[in-house]
Amino acid sequence: MPWHQLDAQAARANEDFFYLVVCASFIESGSDLYTRNLIDYYAGDPEVEGWLRERWEHEELQHGRALRTYVERVWPEFDWATAFKGFFSDYGRICSPDELEPTRARELVARCVVETGTTAYYRALSDAAPEPVLKQLAAQISKDEVNHFKHFLNYYQLYREREGAGRWVVLRALMQRLLELRDDDAECAIRHAWAGRQPARVHDKAAAAEVQQRMNRMVRRHLPVQLAINMLMKPLRLPRLLQSWLERPLVFVVNRVVLRD
């Protein structure tokens, strides 16, 4: 990153960007937890295991380091390490193998949904960013997430053939993960970002909820809805007529459920 071009004053002008970047940095930096779960789940498949261990985990942690660097340069008064320690402790309790889907094909569909969400999030963050380095950083992470999506989609297609996963089973898995997309991870990250930023108001749930609502509105205004819909459709491999029929409810879910206030 061209850190010498960083305009900290521009980034600090809107406090919402502090929370958007810090929360992302926490989740990316905790990626080794869910990578470990996935590696265990796909034990015996050296191609998937190898890619998860050697590429996916490495790139996710790299994203976390870059976002942490950004936070520490723009908001040096924030104790990132201490706040992340609290987040990681809580995150470890909710990031368990029990959360994985019952079949490998369905879990890969769930991964496609998650990568769609992160792609859209970072694209929105890049579009909304008031500062050039953040704009560039978020755009690069979004590109990486698209590449991750393509890998998960490719592995899903292999497992679909092996397991005989039908479209409606896949659609149910897709919709279920969409509805769950922003629940535990984001709430955990926001809680610890708020506690680290506002230690005297750590129990002020109303103020923390207001911050979360502003974050959601910011992302929604810049959300690349059509990109997200196009990505979500790919695992289904629907005929054009069915795809057109399904697009409207998917748009509703993306706009009103995933990013609801």
Number of domains making up the chain: 1
Banded model confidence at residue 202, pLDDT cuts 50, 70, 90? confident
- Distance CA(85)–CA(79), nearest Å, equals 10
Banded model confidence at residue 88, pLDDT cuts 50, 70, 90? very high
pLDDT tens digit string along 36-87? 999 999 999 999 999 999 999 999 999 999 999 999 999 999 999 999 999 9
Q: Give the model's pLDDT for residue 99.
A: 82
Q: Is 192 helix (H, G, I), strand (E, B) or coil?
A: helix
- Distance CA(11)–CA(24), nearest Å, equals 16
Report whether pLDDT(239) > 70.
Answer: no
Look up the domain containing 31 and give its range: 3-258
pLDDT tens digit string along 207-238? 888 988 898 889 888 988 889 888 888 887 75
Q: Which of 76-80, 83-87, 92-96, 244-248 has the lowest mean pLDDT?
A: 244-248
Report whether pLDDT(155) > 70.
Answer: yes
Tell the residue number behind the tokens 């609290």, with chain if given: 86
Task: Identify the CA nearest to 109 among candidates 193, 235, 24, 202.
Answer: 235
- Distance CA(259)–CA(223), nearest Å, equals 10
Could you tell me the CATH number of the domain that includes residue 29? 1.10.620.20
CB 92 within 8 A of CB 173: no
